Amino acid sequence: MFTIAQQKQQYQTYVLTDSSTDSRLEVVPERGGIITRWRVQGREILYLDAERFARPEMSIRGGIPILFPICGNLPDNTYTYQGQQYTLKQHGFARDLPWEVTKSEAEDDSASLTLVLNSNEQTRTVYPFDFQVEFTYEFKGNWLGIWQRFVNHSSAPMPFSTGLHPYFQVSDKTALKFEIPATQFQNQITKEMHAFSGNFDFEQEELDLAFRPISNQKATVSDNSQRLQLTWSSNYYGTLVFWTIKGKDYYCLEPWTAPRNALNTGTDLIYIEPAGEVQTWINLDITST
């Protein structure tokens, strides 16, 4: 049985539950429309730093933050559009702003929640476009679908990139086995390129690796008890980022539509014509091993 309820914690939280599988999804619209919790058959899938989450002035480490209108950072947090310089901080503003819930549905076989973010005076000072971003989270126990719709309400083509930054909870990173559809990655700290053998050196203080090009639309991570599979729409996502910090009980596997600094370089930017729209999706699936 699927249900949707609202709970007033520090923030208003939407709770989607599947009682038949002891699964639960929690979404906090006012903190960037973020999924903060996903439990599958009693097991917590996502990591959340509760102390950072409780402080609105800090970026969230945990859950599934939304990246828009950029992924990663820009040199000096700046980009130039039509001769004018703008300041835009890492991963953009979507993960920091309040979203509005426009629809919620609990049906026999799933539950879903739709949220929107509209451009406003604050966003236009750093990103001079009128837009609407719509996310629908569809929840079916061990499966999570994230459907995305981007609409350009401006009079000029709108460039952007988008992605997700999921934090997956892990107690022993050395037990993880990865299948990533790429043969090489760039170390985003040193900017060096390396061949990928299927393993990571978790003794490093930080791993920040960008895989591109990617050869298909699926990546998996397995441990001794479960297998996580990520799939994404084939027409846009061309970069997959792996990030973790030594001693932290999480790793991030992030589908991006474009690499860092794309607003300046133009690499893999999506352009939406005036009155046009783009739709993308990312699915996450958990199975036992």
Work out the pLDDT band at 58, boundaries 50, 70, 90: confident
Polymer length in residues for the chain = 289
> Measured between alpha carbons, how far is 95 from 141 in angstroms, rounded to an integer?
25
pLDDT of residue 23: 95
CA 167 vs. chain centroid, Å, equals 9
**Number of C-beta neighbours around residue 265 at 10 A:** 12
Q: Are 4 and 103 in contact (CB under 8 A)?
A: no
Work out the pLDDT band at 234, boundaries 50, 70, 90: confident
* pTM for this predicted structure: 0.97
Work out the pLDDT band at 231, boundaries 50, 70, 90: very high
Is 2.70.98.10 the CATH number for 2-288?
Answer: yes
Mean pLDDT within 47-72: 94
Q: Could you tell me the residue ranges of all domains in the chain?
A: 2-288
User: Among candidates 237, 239, 219, which has minimal Cα distance to 229?
Assistant: 219
Token duo for residue 231? 């799939």
Q: Could you please report the per-residue DSSP string of 250-286?
A: EEEEEEESS-TTHHHH-TT-EEE-TT-EEEEEEEEEE
Tell me the pLDDT tens digit for each residue of 146-200: 999 999 999 999 999 999 999 999 999 999 999 999 999 999 999 999 999 898 9
Q: How far is CA 50 from CA 56, 58, 60, 248, in A?
A: 11, 11, 9, 14
> Measured between alpha carbons, how far is 104 from 106 in angstroms, rounded to an integer?
7
Taking 90 as the threshold, does the pLDDT of residue 59 lie above it? no
Mean pLDDT within 233-246: 95
b/e per residue 92-130 (b: at least 16 CB within 10 A): bbbbbbebebeebebeeebbbbbbbbebeeebeeebebb
Taking 90 as the threshold, does the pLDDT of residue 224 lie above it? no
For the chain, give the mean pLDDT.
Answer: 96
